[in-house]
Amino acid sequence: MDPINLNPQETASTGGKGSLIGAIIVVIILIIGAIYLFSGRTEAPIVPEGSESTFTTPDENGTADLEAAAGAIDLESIDLDAAALDEAVAQ
């Protein structure tokens, strides 16, 4: 009787070069992306002449105005609207 070979012969892999090339392409794309990301402009942004900043710092009057506006909110009507919504959903 012929002996049975339980270990098949190993064949050369054909996909080794393709995966290596793919990995190299991915690394190159990542390097190009990092260079693009970190090479932002270091110059100050150009601001047209005569334009002023719209940012203002809050003062005591501004805080008082906000507190007055917050106190003027009618919470009772919000509760009634929520109750009406609950009734509409329950039906």
- Residue 14 to residue 88: CA distance in whole angstroms: 67
pLDDT in tens, 74-83: 777 878 888 8
Residue 62 pLDDT level (bands cut at 50, 70, 90): low
Does the structure show a pLDDT above 90 at 31? yes
* Token reading at 69: 């506006």
How do the domains of the chain map onto residue ranges?
61-91
Give the pLDDT confidence score for residue 91 in this predicted structure.
Answer: 76
Question: What would you measure as the largest C-alpha separation in the chain, in angstroms?
Answer: 105
Burial of 41 (0-12, 13-18, 19+ CB in 10 A): exposed
Average pLDDT over residues 68-74: 81
